[in-house]
C-alpha cells in the first residue's frame, strides 16, 4: 500500500513543503529545503514499511518536515547564526522557537510566491519553466526532457543554471506586485499548462492519462484565481480548458487503461458538473479585452463537450483553430485543425492541407493521414498507419494503430 501512497503524496505534498521552506530559508538555500523534504519522504518510506501507514499520512509528513527543519537549525552553526537570526528579525517572533507554518493559508501564499519567484525574467522562459516543473510540480528530469523534446543532461544543466542565476540576482521570495505579475504571468500559466498536458497525454509513464498531474495543475490554476491580483482572464480561460478536458476522463480510457478515441466515447460518462464549471470559468475569462491561446483552446474544448455531432459544431471548432494558428502557431495545432477541417468540409480537402505539413517525425501525422485516406485509398491509408506504428512511443498509441491496420486488412 505504501508503495502506491508515497509517490502520490510526493506529487501532492512535496512542492507544498518545499515552497514553505524556501520562503523561510530564502533563495540561496533552495537545495537545503529540497534535501529536508526528500529526507522526509525517505523517512516515510522506511518507517511506514516497518510500522505501517499512520492514520493521517499528510500530517505525519508535515510533523517530520518541521522536526527535520528545526534539527537542521540546531546542527548547522552558520545557518543558526546568519539565517535564523534574519528569520526571527523578519517575522518579529520573540520566541526562540522558529515557526514552520504549514497551514493551508501559508502553503497557498508560499506557493504563489515561489511560482512568481521561479518564473523570474532573469532566466530564459525555458529555464523558468524547467525549474518550476522540477521544484514546484515535482517533475523528474526525464519528464521535463520529454516536455521540451530535449535530453536529460541538457535539462539537468538548465535547472542548475537557473537556480544559480536566481541566487546571483538575490531574488527575494515574496508575493508578486502588479508589475511582476504582468511580466511573469505568461510563463506561470505556460508552466501549469505543461503540467496539465503531461497528465492529459503522458509519454513518460506506463499510462497515457495521469489524473494526479491534471488535478495538481487545476489546483495551481485555482490558486491563481483565488488571489485577486492573479485572477485574470487568461487564468480563468486556462481553468475552463482543464475543466472541459477533465470532464471526459472517465470516457477517455477503457477499464484496462487503453485510450478510447473521441468519436468512440460513451457520452453518458462525461461529467456534466465539470462541463458546467468550465462554462462558468470560460464566461469569467471573457471579461476585459484579453484574448489568449487558452481562450481559444478552451472554446475548442467546450465544443468537444457538446454531444450533437453537427456541421455547426465542427465549423465552430475549425474557426477557433484558424484563430489559434494566427495567434500562436504550432505543428500540433495545425494537425488538429486539419482533423477539424475533415469533419467540417470533408476528407479530400483535409488531405491536401495535411500533406502540406510534412510532420514526418510525428506518428499523429501519419495516423491522421491513415484516417483521412481510409475509404478513399485504403492502400495509402494502410501505408500511413504502418509508418505511424513505427514512430509511436506508448503502448496505448500502438494498440490503436494496430486496430486501424487490422480493420483495413479485413
More confident of the two residues 367 and 146: 367
Beta-bridged to residue 259, according to DSSP, are 253
Question: 180 and 68: one domain?
Answer: no
Instruction: Write down the pLDDT at residue 278.
Output: 97
- Residues 127 and 342: their CA atoms lie apart, in Å, by 38
Stated length of the chain: 410
pLDDT digits (tens, 9 = 90+) for 324-352: 999 999 999 999 999 999 999 999 999 99
Note whether residue 1 is domain-resident: yes
Question: 73 and 160: one domain?
Answer: no
Note whether residue 363 is domain-resident: yes
Note whether residue 354 is domain-resident: no
What does each C-alpha distance from 26 to 123, 142, 214 come to in angstroms?
18, 27, 29
Phi (first) and psi of residue 253, to 5 degrees: -130, 150
Question: 116 and 84: one domain?
Answer: no
pLDDT band at 369 (very low <50, low <70, confident <90, very high): very high
Note whether residue 280 is domain-resident: no
pLDDT band at 83 (very low <50, low <70, confident <90, very high): low
Question: 123 and 53: one domain?
Answer: no
Instruction: Write down the pLDDT at residue 89.
Output: 46
Question: 81 and 191: one domain?
Answer: no
Q: Which residue has the cell 512535496?
A: 14
Stretch 175-200: mean pLDDT = 88
Instruction: Write down the pLDDT at residue 327.
Output: 95
For 26-40, 98-112, 276-290, which range has the lowest pLDDT when averaged over its residues?
Answer: 98-112
Question: How many domains would you assign to the chain?
Answer: 3
Q: Which residue has the cell 477539424?
A: 340
- Residues 217 and 223: their CA atoms lie apart, in Å, by 10
Q: N- to C-terminal Cα distance for the chain?
A: 45
- Last residue of one domain, picked from the residues 212, 231, 250: 231
pLDDT digits (tens, 9 = 90+) for 7-18: 888 878 888 999
Instruction: Write down the pLDDT at residue 258.
Output: 75
pLDDT band at 4 (very low <50, low <70, confident <90, very high): confident
Q: Which residue has the cell 453537427?
A: 310
pLDDT digits (tens, 9 = 90+) for 152-170: 999 999 999 999 999 999 9
Instruction: Write down the pLDDT at residue 293.
Output: 96
- The distance from CA 322 to its chain's CA centroid, rounded to whole angstroms, is 25
- Last residue of one domain, picked from the residues 187, 215, 231: 231
Instruction: Write down the pLDDT at residue 95.
Output: 42
- Residues 231 and 38: their CA atoms lie apart, in Å, by 32
- Residues 379 and 92: their CA atoms lie apart, in Å, by 76
Closest Cα to residue 76, out of 32, 40, 39?
32
Beta-bridged to residue 253, according to DSSP, are 259
Note whether residue 145 is domain-resident: yes
Percent of all residues in the chain with a pLDDT value above 90, rounded to a whole number: 51
* pLDDT greater than 60 at residue 80: no
- Last residue of one domain, picked from the residues 102, 119, 143: 102
Question: 121 and 166: one domain?
Answer: yes
Question: 65 and 121: one domain?
Answer: no
* pLDDT greater than 50 at residue 72: yes
Long-range pairs of 351-358 with CB within 8 A, sequence gap ≥ 24: 351/376, 357/331
Note whether residue 135 is domain-resident: yes
* pLDDT greater than 50 at residue 377: yes
- Residues 391 and 362: their CA atoms lie apart, in Å, by 7
pTM of the entire predicted model? 0.82
For 80-89, 128-137, 188-197, which range has the lowest pLDDT when averaged over its residues?
Answer: 80-89
Note whether residue 302 is domain-resident: no
More confident of the two residues 409 and 389: 389
pLDDT digits (tens, 9 = 90+) for 243-277: 999 999 999 888 777 788 888 889 999 999 999 99
Question: 118 and 48: one domain?
Answer: no
pLDDT digits (tens, 9 = 90+) for 84-119: 555 544 444 444 456 788 888 898 889 899 989 988
Question: 25 and 112: one domain?
Answer: no
Report DSSP letters for 180-240, one per residue.
HHHHHHHHHHHHHHHHHHHHHS-SSSS-S--HHHHHHHHHHHHHHHHSGGG--HHHHHHHH
Phi (first) and psi of residue 259, to 5 degrees: -70, 135
Instruction: Write down the pLDDT at residue 98.
Output: 63
Q: Which residue has the cell 543554471?
A: 161
User: Residue 157: which domain range?
Assistant: 107-231
Stretch 200-219: mean pLDDT = 72
Question: 31 and 84: one domain?
Answer: yes
Closest Cα to residue 119, out of 180, 195, 28?
180
Question: 76 and 139: one domain?
Answer: no
Instruction: Write down the pLDDT at residue 215.
Output: 87
Note whether residue 286 is domain-resident: no
Q: Quote the longest CA-to-CA distance of the chain.
A: 80
* pLDDT greater than 90 at residue 36: yes
Question: 16 and 37: one domain?
Answer: yes
Amino acid at each position: 500500500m505504501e508503495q502506491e501512497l508515497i509517490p502520490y503524496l510526493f506529487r501532492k505534498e512535496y512542492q507544498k513543503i518545499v515552497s514553505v521552506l524556501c520562503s523561510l530559508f530564502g533563495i540561496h538555500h533552495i537545495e537545503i529545503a529540497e534535501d529536508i523534504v526528500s529526507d522526509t519522504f525517505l523517512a516515510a518510506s522506511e518507517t511506514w514499511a516497518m510500522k505501517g501507514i499512520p492514520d493521517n499520512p499528510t500530517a505525519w509528513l508535515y510533523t517530520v518536515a518541521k522536526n527535520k527543519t528545526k534539527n537542521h537549525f540546531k546542527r548547522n552553526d552558520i545557518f543558526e547564526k546568519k539565517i535564523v537570526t534574519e528569520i526571527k528579525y523578519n517575522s518579529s517572533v520573540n520566541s526562540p522557537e522558529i515557526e514552520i507554518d504549514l497551514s493551508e493559508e501559508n502553503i497557498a501564499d508560499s506557493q504563489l510566491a515561489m511560482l512568481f519567484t521561479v518564473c523570474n525574467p532573469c532566466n530564459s522562459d525555458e529555464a523558468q519553466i524547467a525549474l518550476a516543473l522540477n521544484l514546484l510540480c515535482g517533475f523528474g528530469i526525464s519528464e521535463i526532457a520529454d516536455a521540451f523534446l530535449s535530453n536529460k543532461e541538457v535539462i539537468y544543466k538548465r535547472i542548475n543554471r537557473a537556480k544559480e542565476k536566481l541566487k546571483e540576482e538575490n531574488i527575494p521570495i515574496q508575493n508578486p506586485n502588479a508589475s511582476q505579475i504582468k511580466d511573469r504571468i505568461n510563463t506561470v500559466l505556460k508552466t501549469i499548462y505543461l503540467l496539465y498536458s503531461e497528465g492529459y497525454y503522458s509519454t513518460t509513464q506506463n499510462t497515457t492519462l495521469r489524473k494526479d498531474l491534471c488535478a495538481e495543475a487545476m489546483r495551481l490554476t485555482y490558486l491563481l484565481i483565488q488571489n485577486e491580483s492573479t485572477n485574470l482572464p487568461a487564468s480563468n480561460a486556462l481553468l475552463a480548458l482543464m475543466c472541459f478536458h477533465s470532464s471526459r476522463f472517465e470516457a477517455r480510457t477503457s477499464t484496462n487503461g487503453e485510450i478510447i478515441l473521441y468519436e468512440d466515447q460513451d457520452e453518458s460518462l462525461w461529467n456534466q458538473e465539470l462541463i458546467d464549471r468550465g462554462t462558468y470559468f470560460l464566461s469569467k475569462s471573457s471579461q476585459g479585452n484579453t484574448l489568449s491561446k487558452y481562450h481559444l483552446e478552451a472554446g475548442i474544448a467546450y465544443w468537444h463537450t457538446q454531444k450533437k455531432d453537427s456541421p455547426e459544431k465542427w465549423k465552430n471548432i475549425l474557426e477557433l483553430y484558424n484563430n489559434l494558428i494566427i495567434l500562436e502557431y504550432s505543428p500540433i495545432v495545425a494537425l488538429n485543425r486539419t482533423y477539424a477541417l475533415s469533419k467540417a468540409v470533408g476528407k479530400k480537402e483535409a488531405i491536401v492541407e495535411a500533406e502540406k505539413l510534412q510532420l514526418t517525425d510525428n506518428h499523429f501525422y501519419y495516423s491522421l493521414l491513415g484516417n483521412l485516406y481510409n475509404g478513399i485509398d485504403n492502400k495509402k491509408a494502410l501505408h500511413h498507419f504502418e509508418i505511424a506504428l513505427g514512430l509511436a512511443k506508448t503502448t496505448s498509441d500502438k494498440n490503436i494503430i494496430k486496430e486501424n491496420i487490422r480493420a483495413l486488412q479485413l
